[in-house]
Amino acid sequence: MLWKVLLLLGLSSAWAQKLCSPGASDGYKVRLSINSALGDQAYVWNENEMFLFRATLAFAMRTYSDGQEYDVANVVVCDETPRVSFWFVVTSPLDASLLVDKRRVEEAVRKSRSRINSAFLLTDDTLEFIGIPPTLEAPVAPDTPPWLIAFGVVMGGVGAGIVVLLVSSVVQKIRKKRDGEEETGGKTENEAASDAIYNMSFSDDEPVTQM
């Protein structure tokens, strides 16, 4: 009995390996660049990390695909390289010989990309799924373009400067005109006063000369 179980296990793993192969139509290649992402803090890629990957992918399939109970065994991995790249395929939980369609896998990976990235402390660039482009973040676009604010400030300042300078020129001109008028007005008054004095003294002389 035991040998039958062992044979079945061996056969199923061999079958699973046959399902997964480099260039499989329903599989994807994954590439990790742990050293360039983490530098000194880089961890070593080993069996446990691979187990985490398979578990994360199973989680993604469970949550974002058809809701079936995917398990770690459903994610089959092959062709591991020292680069840290490998191929994987996902088998259906109902029938281990059936592969899940490429598009469903892609959809699940896309939707849970940030969870998968953070599980490995990597980013879209350093954890690549070849064939699944990451959805790019749109550039931050504020409601009012900041340059209009700066433009408004500058124009306001300059406009205020023009107004101030023009007003001060006009005020200066008015003041100059007023000073000029006062001077000429004062002069004529003085002349009238000296004339009156002069007339008085002239009329005083008259009785003396007549005698």
Partner 1 sequence: MRLVFPNPGLDNRILSHEDLDRMEKEEGDRPKWDNKTQYMLTCVGFCIGIGNVWRFPYLCQTHGGGAFLIPYLILLVLEGMPLLLLEFAIGQRLRKGSVGVWRAINPYLTGVGIASMLVSLLVGLYYNTLIAWILWYLFNSFQDPLPWTQCPLNDNGTGFVPECQRSSTVDYYFYRVTLNSSTSIADSGGIHWPIVLCLLAAWTVMCVCYIRGIGTSGKAVYVTAILPYIVLAIFLIRGLTLKGSLSGIKFLFTPDVNELINPKTWLDAGAQVFYAFSLAWGGLISFSSYNPVHNNCVQDAVILTAITGFTSIYAATVTYTIIGFRATEKYDTCISDNILTLLNAFDLPEDNITTSNYETALNHLNSSYPDTVLGLDIKTCDMQTLLSEGVEGTGLAFIVFTEAITKMPGSPFWSVLFFVMLLCLGISTLFGNIEGVVVPLKDLNLLPKKWPQEAVTGVTCAVAFIICLLFAQHSGLYWVTLFDNFAGSVPLLTIGLFEMIAVVYIYGIDRFNEDLEYMVGHKPGIFWQVTWRFISPLIVLVILVFYMVTQTQEELTYLVWDPNSEQFPSLALVPYPSWINAVVFLLAGVPSLAVPVYALYALDCICLHSRFVVSFVCLGLCMFRQKM
Return residues touching partner 1 (CB under 8 A).
31, 33-36, 81-85, 133, 135-136, 138-140, 142, 146-151, 154-155, 158-159, 161-162, 165-166, 169
Per the rule left: phi > 0, alpha: psi between -120 and 50, beta: everything else, 79 is left
Nearer to partner 1, 42 or 98 (CB): 42
Nearest distance, CB of residue 139 and partner 1, angstroms: 4
The secondary structure of residue 175, as a DSSP letter, is H
Question: Please, are residues 76 and 89 in contact by the beta-carbon 8 Å criterion?
Answer: yes
Nearest distance, CB of residue 178 and partner 1, angstroms: 18
Nearer to partner 1, 8 or 154 (CB): 154
Nearest distance, CB of residue 147 and partner 1, angstroms: 4
Q: 15: which residues sit within 8 A by CB, 6+ positions away?
A: 96, 97
Nearest distance, CB of residue 98 and partner 1, angstroms: 29
Q: Which residues pair with 88 in a beta bridge?
A: 28, 77
